[in-house]
A and B are shown apart, each in its own frame.
Chain A
Amino acid sequence: MSAFHIKAALLPDGTRTDLFVENGVFVESASNATVVDADGLQALPGLVDLHTHLREPGFEQSETVLTGSRAAASGGFTAVFAMANTSPVSDTAGVVEQVHSLGETHGYVTVRPIGAVTVGLEGQRLSEIGAMAQSRAKVRVFSDDGKCVSDALLMRRALEYVKTFGGVIAQHSQEPRLTEGAQMNEGALSAELGLAGWPAVAEEAIIARDVLLAQHVGARLHVCHVSTAGSVDVIRWAKARGIDVTAEVTPHHLLLTEQLASGYDARFKVNPPLRRDEDVLALREALADGTIDIVATDHAPHPLEAKECAWDEAAFGMVGLESALSVVQASVVDAGLLNFADVARVLSIAPARIGLLDGYSAPFELGSAANFTLYDPAASTVFGVEHLHGKSVNSPYLGRELPGRIVTTVHNGVATVLDGALVEELDRG
């Protein structure tokens, strides 16, 4: 494992300093260090994604822990939380330990598995939450993402039960009956296109119910991929009442709107769906004022054939790890709503805090694990498949000009990206 001397890095707080890394941690100085010139680059703490689909086990044609880890590293991430909708579902200690250990083996990022709330994501019985929490994977986040824990009693029990293990339920808020067959945001455009609507109320009603349940039982709730202005209002109200709720927004919901559905190009089909301009603006403001705590990618790889078909036959989801920071810059940083200290908060410090991931609370502190990325916000590129490092290419940004470029990523002192290129053989000492 080589030592690093990062010259003239601009830290999120605006100070410019040299950084030294040795034996995986930040140190005061290091000899025989590889010198990295960070002049003009923004240093950020290693990004943490609370919402990634790594697809392994079961859907290795879409992504594996290795390919997803590489995609993450190339996007500046040093830790990802892997969603539970694998096959078999991550609802037992065995599966989450497997995913966790694959992450350790590959080493590109820290992989923290998310456990399913219910057995098989079927919404019937609680899965073995305690066994997963006590496993080597130390699961703290539980989610049936892809499906909503729609049964109110089961949701109440889940919120209560995870308190036992200091966990949190990350809810995919989607009232199932209101969204049967749903294809895109319900409104004038879905009416014109003849695509079944996914009404905003189906998200907002579940969030409203869940924040009240969380208040009633004194539990902690995390709301996945908030997509509507109405949801923002509900969460703002809940936080004002002191309810222990956190919320995430995806990069694509900060930048893209439902108009992209009008050509029936299934790359733009995602769940929750792309919404209206006013929703995008409300989400940006909510991220700026702290109503929404974090950005999480909902990176959802799918093979080509799942998208090369009629819209309602296509799979939901888009990849997002590689483009996340650029899209955040394009949507909220360049617009002046967030600075890079805020970016460090919403893409690293806060998601690590919500997911109870250690080592991210005080970035760049001497003695702490060296997880960081160097980012060139002045760069600009037309996003293409060559920027994707996972197995799937279902990105909504292909052909679109995006700002910024990840130049270097270091995970626990090991460079995973150097000079803008993914490191093929990690130097793990």
Chain B
Amino acid sequence: MKHLLSTRDLSRDEAIQILDLAEDMADAGTREVKKLPALRGRTVVNLFFEDSTRTKISFEAAAKRLSADVINFTAKGSSVSKGESLKDTAQTLAAIGADGVVIRHGSSGAPRVLASSGWIDAGVVNAGDGTHEHPTQALLDAFTMRKRLHGDASRGRALDGVSVTIVGDILHSRVARSNVWLLETLGAEVTLVAPATLLPVGVETWPVTVGYDLDAAVAAKPDVLMMLRIQSERMNAAFFPNAREYSRQWGFDDERLARLPEASLVMHPGPMNRGLEISSGAADSARSTIIEQVANGVSIRMAVLYLLLAGGAA
């Protein structure tokens, strides 16, 4: 694997390979000395054109645990905010000798442009591009589901027959897109629930079931309920009337939590708007995997960086 740009590109075997390798990385993390020497002498650049604390520190921790040298390049306050182009930044990183570039960019497709441009030869990991994809988030979500559902017997397994309902702003969500493609590849059954304004035109061609009613979705007893962050600026663009109405119709509150089966998982990619799309009761319940997702994120990103930069199979 040269780059990780989207989950759509991943075969089932490749996806399972990443998840299994992440299991190994997670095991290593339980040892007294967490650090592995695998990427010693390699340079990983975190190229963040958009603010993101969580994803950036997760990639940074992953690279450091593999003994890579990490350079953080944040666009804010740098030459990028003074009009430097993606091309110039990429050529600068190439000159510095970056082996891997982890890129977060506000424009959909920017990681693919970087990977196919010839400006830089490094492996490219998409850490979230516009409203396109966020593949490592989907991989860590799948890892988390597999771990909860199959425990120590997770290795080598997919998510066949697991029902996953994703709720919220599908239209603008790169997390939703990456999850839809990866979960389909892994055999899960995906349902999307949102107001019609927050579903993309053409969603009927996706390998999912689409609904508008969260109560009906909860009553269907999904194995996994994944809540997406809702951004308050969407209200101003008339996607929904106000936060109160959104929360009433599509917020996962304590009452809906009570109707969800005990064994179902409650997921959220973070950061959460407590009280808007998810109540504190739901976020902090035993069914919530939100903290595990963060921890698993490091293992997944270690696995991805290892596959891209250490060259080939584990």
Contacts and interface: CB of A to CB of B under 8 A. Distances in A.
Interface stretch (B196-204, B215-223, B277-285): B196-204
Interface core residue of A193, A194, A305, A311 (most chain B CB under 10 Å): A194
B132 A193 contact: yes
B113 A190 contact: no
Nearest to A312: B107
Contacts of B130: 194-195, 312
Contact of B202 (A183, A187, A263, A305): A187
A310 B105 contact: yes
Contacts of B60: none
Contacts of B201: 186-188, 190-191, 197, 199
Task: Sort A-B residue pairs by CB-CB distance and give the 6 closest, nearest first.
Answer: A264-B109, A194-B132, A188-B202, A191-B200, A310-B107, A194-B131
Contact of B113 (A187, A194, A197, A311): A311
A193 B113 CA distance: 13
Interface in B87-119: 87, 105, 107-110, 112-113, 116-117
B85 interface: yes
Interface in A235-253: none
Interface string A22-64: 0000000000000000000000000000000000000000000
Nearest to A187: B202
Contacts of B174: 194
Interface string A310-334: 1111000000000000000000000
A263 B86 contact: no
A305 B84 CA distance: 11
B86 A310 contact: yes
Nearest to B107: A310
A353 B152 CA distance: 77
B229 interface: no
A310 B202 contact: no
Interface string B133-146: 10000000000000
How many of chain B's residues touch chain A, expressed as a range? 20 to 34
Contacts of A195: 108-109, 130-132
Interface of B: 8, 85-87, 105, 107-110, 112-113, 116-117, 129-133, 174, 177, 200-206
B184 to A, nearest CB: 13
Contacts of B204: 188
20 contacts: A188-B206, A191-B201, A192-B8, A192-B177, A192-B202, A193-B109, A194-B108, A194-B129, A194-B130, A195-B109, A195-B130, A263-B112, A264-B112, A309-B85, A310-B108, A310-B113, A311-B109, A311-B113, A312-B130, A313-B86
A312 B113 CA distance: 12
B144 to A, nearest CB: 23
A308 B132 CA distance: 19
Contacts of B131: 194-196
Contacts of B112: 263-264
Contacts of B116: 263
B101 to A, nearest CB: 14
A367 B304 CA distance: 74
A264 B116 CA distance: 10
Contacts of B87: 305, 308-309
Given A188-B205, A193-B132, A312 B86 contact: no
Nearest to B105: A310
A187 B108 CA distance: 16
A265 B225 CA distance: 36
B202 A191 contact: yes
A364 to B, nearest CB: 49
A255 interface: no
Given A194-B129, A194-B177, A309-B113, A264 B108 contact: yes
A189 interface: yes
A302 to B, nearest CB: 14
